Structure 1
């Protein structure tokens, strides 16, 4: 069977997008992952040659993996991008890389950056006074019986896990430490753990573990 000339010439463009799709499948935010695909899709149409296309494409794939995989693995630290940064920071860096590699399409890349900031604003507005996501806390340890809820107060909402089971407070604390939460100063003598991410904008999630006895604990988490 003869392979069309266009396929033999441009197969690498589709291959870059396929690999990027595999990477974003690990994203903790489906929409964030899909938005992270956009620069690579744009590059697959802008790339002037296979050589530059694959070189710049590899850089873009590495950049996408950096913004997706550490969060998916529950890692923490200022080298781990915050979830919101995939919209504006990743898009901006990727657009600059595309512009350097293609030396054309500047207007479209500029509009892509603007779109990234607009989506960032929309994401921040949607998150305002909304319950936090899983943030590495939910669903909780498999060996405990857990019910999940949320509460809201003045300009803030927080997630709640009601946990029961053998040594529930200790199990919950071990679970958080394994997900790179570190002990923080207590509030009202309640054990508190926090995890920070973000390259340029700090994203801190804190968890209060309220012991309710040897076999029960109430867990509350919130984004500072």
Structure 2
């Protein structure tokens, strides 16, 4: 029998997980770890395929909504893509291993996966203490506008970035752009965007209209 006929239930989740990683956020090696791990540990095609595709679905949930600019309490934040993703996928793998009556043999792998997720999270949080916010849906700016990013600012335990966008109806175009990325108006000059399943990650963008065709946007973690 061919390799495909024997191992199709391993190959399909691997290919699907890789497709999610590439389409959603580039090659995400950490996102593929639990999928690869499960395809190695699985012993039967039924549980192997069902759990494998469940892991792919979890992977898609953690990367696709944020990549599409969605917001809300069911959209995982960037940090949760590491620690919470590790916990959820470890639980899914544990259920699969228990069904296969092989839970004890896989506990070391599961704890290592959770530990690596928390380790990466701690490193990212430490780096973010004095770091400027990411693009957070503000950049790249709307097509048709010229975008010039400023130097930004750091002080009082928080950092911000700023950019001046110039073009026809720039203030209205930028507002529509932010709305399409999930931002909601808090005031005429401020729009905010929040994600996070366990811990809310909120980013606000302040818009200062310079002229009818020029607007300055300053965004920061609230």
Distance 1:26 1:159, change over 3 A: farther
Q: Are 2:167 and 1:170 aligned?
A: no
Distance 1:56 1:83, change over 3 A: same
Residue of structure 1 equivalent to 2:16 = 19
CA distance in 2, matches of 1:97, 1:164: 49
CA distance in 1, matches of 2:4, 2:23: 28
Matches within 5 A, 1:138-177: 138-154=139-155, 155-177=157-179
Q: Are 2:80 and 1:78 aligned?
A: no
CA distance in 2, matches of 1:176, 1:61: 29
CA distance in 2, matches of 1:181, 1:214: 22
Structure 2 unpaired stretches of 5+? none
CA distance in 2, matches of 1:180, 1:211: 21
Match of 1:74, SS state, is coil
CA distance in 1, matches of 2:161, 2:123: 22
CA distance in 1, matches of 2:70, 2:109: 34
Count, aligned residues: 215
CA distance in 2, matches of 1:107, 1:34: 20
Runs of 4+ in 1 over 6 A off after TM superposition: none
Displacement of 1:168 in angstroms is 1.1
RMSD: 1.6
Match of 2:87, SS state, is helix
Structure 1 unpaired stretches of 5+? none
Q: Is the 8 A contact 2:165 2:214 kept in 1?
A: yes
Match of 1:183, SS state, is strand
Residue of structure 1 equivalent to 2:120 = 119
Matches within 5 A, 1:42-121: 42-103=37-98, 104=103, 105-121=106-122
CA distance in 2, matches of 1:128, 1:150: 18
Residue of structure 2 equivalent to 1:203 = 201
